Structure 1
Amino acid sequence: MISFDEFVTARGPALLRFGYLMCGDRHLAEDILQEVLAKVYRRWGRIARTEPPEAYVRRAILHQYLSWRRRRASTEAVVAQVPEHPDSGLMADHVAVRDEMWALLDTLPRVQRAVLVLRYYLDLPDPEIADLVGCAPATVRVHAFRALGALRTRLSAHLTAEDRSG
């Protein structure tokens, strides 16, 4: 049986990335992960013996994210240093598209966002997503369908607005 310290050392960065993908905010992801690890630590002996610990912790992160009550006070991104010159070239375009997609994902309800992350980032099948989220596989498909439809609508509106302004 792996110790709690060994588990956190080995899988902590991956769990933090998973939390970040859920909420889109590194600090909030750290808070969620910290709360989950504090709860898991108390029951580690039982958890490590009964099921794969990482699956249990991911499920706990997902549930903590879905029930999280705090909201960000603003949409400002805090950086350590203000860059002198903006990046240019393809990297800047890639970052802009990625940031735009994260902004669009932030507009989705939490369950829909969670379903998209579980499906497209972790590549989980619908029955496994349903088990994690606590719904039927058909409901997972409905959440994904509605989330993708909302993203398409918002992206189309955004592109139309850009065409009119530029």
Structure 2
Amino acid sequence: MIDPEWQPEIAALFRAEAENLFGFAWAALTQGDTETARDLVQQTFQAAVQAWAELRIRSPEGQRRWLYRVLKNKAIDEWRKRRRIHLVDEVAVEDPHGEESLDVGRQVLSAAALQECWNVIAKMPPDRARVAFLHWAEDWSTREIADLLGISSSTVRGHLWKARTELLLRVGPQVPFIEDPEQEDWGRGTAS
């Protein structure tokens, strides 16, 4: 239950910030998905209401930073739910008669390797895990990730390099989604 005394304060914050939050969610976080952007803003303000006793004593700039941080985290949670990489790839092989068929054995190995990759990524430091997820599951570019997370492109590349190295060490060459390290997007950036 919201303290009736706080309702005008929360309403004022909503009027001051909701439009800009929606614009950011729409353009940067959902890439034009209006309904998801609206949902993210609503979820962010629901979190603000729940945390209002602490949030209300912050400066307007502190409140704004809190809202954007929560909005980004809500978006990442949403992306995790909608992950584009499927656990079973359809791996076609050609039989001796020239017909293609699905190789169930390769599908199972691919699914197991992919699941192990996500297990390894889930145990990485949070920033590295976010970068890895956005890059490999959501197909975001280095620049898009850097802009979203407020870090440099070289830091994103560093996180990807470390994540790739860890995946190859822990999962091996069966990692189904890792690019060639010679691509220009790779490098030993400054991530920690």
Instruction: Name the structure, 1 or 2, with higher relative contact order (CA <8 Å, separation 6+).
Output: 1
TM-score normalized with structure 2 length: 0.41
Larger radius of gyration, structure 1 or 2? 2
More helix by share: 1
TM-score normalized with structure 1 length: 0.46
